[in-house]
Chain A
Amino acid sequence: MQLPLEKNNKKVVQTKAADINRRKRWITPKSAPYIFIAPTVILLIIFTLYPIVSSFLLSFKTKIAGQYVFSGFHNYIRLFHDPVFYKSLVNTFEILIIQVPIMIFLALIIAVLINSPIVKLNALFRISFFMPAITSLVAASLVFMILLDNNTGLVNYLLSLMGIHKIAWLTQPFWAKVSIIILMSWRWIGYNMVIFLAGLQGIGQDLYEAASIDGAGKVRQFFSITLPQLKPIFVFTVVLSTIGTLQLFDEPYILTGGGPSNATMTITLYLYQNGFKYFDFGYASAIAYVLVIITAILSWIQLKWAGDKD
């Protein structure tokens, strides 16, 4: 009875030792890091690096008789003369210039109010304002589409109770843009507010106490302590929001489909249409590279501005 059991145990011990030996042979502290980064590197080469290069090459090619042939700057020249692309650029920048400052301003104000010592229940406020930031953009856009419907939407109904005439939220070029801006602000104010809140909590109370003793009022303290101290956070939110707005897609795709008459056409929406509606891959790739260049320039400017004033 005892003998076989002993044998078995020996076997287990042996295989375990062999296991460790084998592992030691293949994964040494020297080779381990390469094995750990291997999946990431392989995936990034196939699914990021290759597409980035391929897209660049594609942007210089045009489809002729089913084949993509080199056509020099043809796609870029075509973009330059394309009124819809031009419109999408202007729209994206209009939304950027109006929406980002409004959103950042409101996010900052709300953060400061929630952070002030007199406000109780600040956890409840924080949750309420943050909730939009966790919803899917598609779901949010659908709800806003129904809320803003010209004839049957709740918003126009509430406006009519106040004696305000119906607004053609989604069917008039100006108001369609306003609708996109409202939706984006609703979705992202809480997100930015939480970033500001964390920044505010990082400012030492002693700064405020010293200012109080010196007789500085609340408003004065806000401008001479709070704002300068929040500078890095400020830059961070502006850069993030700018990059996000340049890639604006879900909201106009659902809410307005880019219309009316391209009033809400954005760069990414136009890229999508050319790539996956008209299957003009060369042209879509050229749009993508214009987006890359714009993103790079704007990020560079903003980071430089951040560095200069420090």
Chain B
Amino acid sequence: MKNQYSPVSKTVIYLLLIFGALLSIAPFYWMFVGATNASGDILHIPPRLLPGKHLIENFKNLQESLGMTRIMFNSLFVSLVSTFLSLLICSAAGYAFAKFKFKGRDVIFFAILLTMMIPSQVTLVPLFKLMVALNWLDTYQAVILPQLAVPFAIFLIRQNMLSFPDDLLKAARIDGAGELRIFFTIVLPTMKPALAAVAIFLFMSQWNSFIWPLVVLSSPDMYTLPVALSSLIGLARIDYGQVMLGATISTVPVIVFFLIFQKQFIAGILGGSVKE
């Protein structure tokens, strides 16, 4: 096996991979360079290829034009709250579908899976009208509530819970534990690794979510990061330093998190479609 590759083909393979990897990473580097330079330096020909000293000034400008700290809070708040609630709601449903026999179970489960096949764009207009009717435009709940019941998450959790031992549940019931207690103190803690991957999936989809917040949020101090960033390009004169720093702020925390929890992250992003 070892001798089937000549040194030449080895070198070619490495060069291709290194070239591809550099192309993948280069925009991140450029983003970082942009975030630390003044707008003029980014546009300069030849461009400055090294990080500069304008990071703090760019942040000040961003704070002035967008109210960046508030935007960061909005994004973090919306993402964390919806991840937590969604995880609770979806794992309860996933547990019920996996471990109980009840009338209508298969029909309801199939119906939930069916909604996954329908592009979410279909719901945009009626959901918007609903939010208008409820007087919820420009609120956190408008961003969070419609995204809580995630069929894909329910499906993944159910698949993982199928293997949960029935004897354990039986024993707990004989001991007199209530159903809620069994769920919270026995089932959920045992499922932690699977739930972690699902939580990452949920957090990432909310953190990066764009079209729905764009539709329901109208006042700048309610914007989430992607919506706020998109509003920067509507301005007559785009400040590239601000744009790059904004992009950096929305990606760097995720990247750091990714480097630490790589395995769960990949499982979560791929939605468990892959078993590692």
Instruction: Check B233 for interface membership: any CB of A closer than 8 A.
Output: yes
| A residues in contact with B97, CB < 8 Å | 33, 37
Contact A37 B96 (CB under 8 A): yes
Contacts of B30 in A (CB 8 A): 143, 146-147, 154
Query: B262 on the interface (CB 8 Å rule)?
Result: yes
User: Size band of the A side of the interface?
Assistant: 35 or more
Q: From DSSP, what is the main secondary structure of chain B's interface residues?
A: helix
Q: Does B117 contact A (CB under 8 A)?
A: yes
Closest to B265 in A: A134
A20: contacting residue among B28, B117, B176, B243, CB under 8 A: B176
Docked pose: A32 CA to B179 CA in angstroms: 7
CB-CB contacts below 8 Å: B187-206 with A = 204
Task: Find chain B residues with CB under 8 A from A132 CB.
Answer: 24, 27
Does B89 sit at the interface, judged by CB under 8 A?
yes
Q: Which residues of B contact A289 (CB under 8 A)?
A: 122
Q: Which residues of A contact B121 (CB under 8 A)?
A: 247, 249, 268, 271, 288, 291
Q: Does A97 contact B (CB under 8 A)?
A: no
Residues of A within 8 A of B2 (CB): 117-118
Q: A43 contacts the other chain (Cβ, under 8 Å)?
A: yes
Assess the B208–A119 pair: CB atoms within 8 A. Answer: no
Q: Which residue of B lies closest to A299 (CB)?
A: B117
**A129 touching B31, Cβ below 8 Å:** no
For residues 10 through 55 of chain A, which have their beta carbon under 8 Å from a beta carbon of chain B?
20, 23-24, 27-30, 32-37, 39-41, 43-44, 46-52, 54-55
Binding site for A on B (CB under 8 A): 1-2, 4-5, 10, 13-14, 16-17, 20-21, 23-25, 27-28, 30-31, 34, 42-43, 45-47, 89-90, 92-93, 95-97, 100, 102, 105, 108, 112, 115, 117-130, 145-146, 148-149, 151, 154, 173, 176, 178-181, 183, 204, 207-208, 210-211, 215, 225-226, 229-230, 232-233, 240, 243-244, 246-248, 250-251, 254-255, 258-259, 262, 265-266, 269-270, 273-276
| 16 further A-B pairs in the complex, CB-CB below 8 A; given A47-B146, A51-B130, A275-B215 | A20-B176, A20-B178, A30-B102, A44-B149, A44-B151, A46-B130, A52-B123, A131-B24, A138-B250, A139-B31, A142-B232, A152-B45, A154-B47, A199-B274, A281-B125, A285-B122
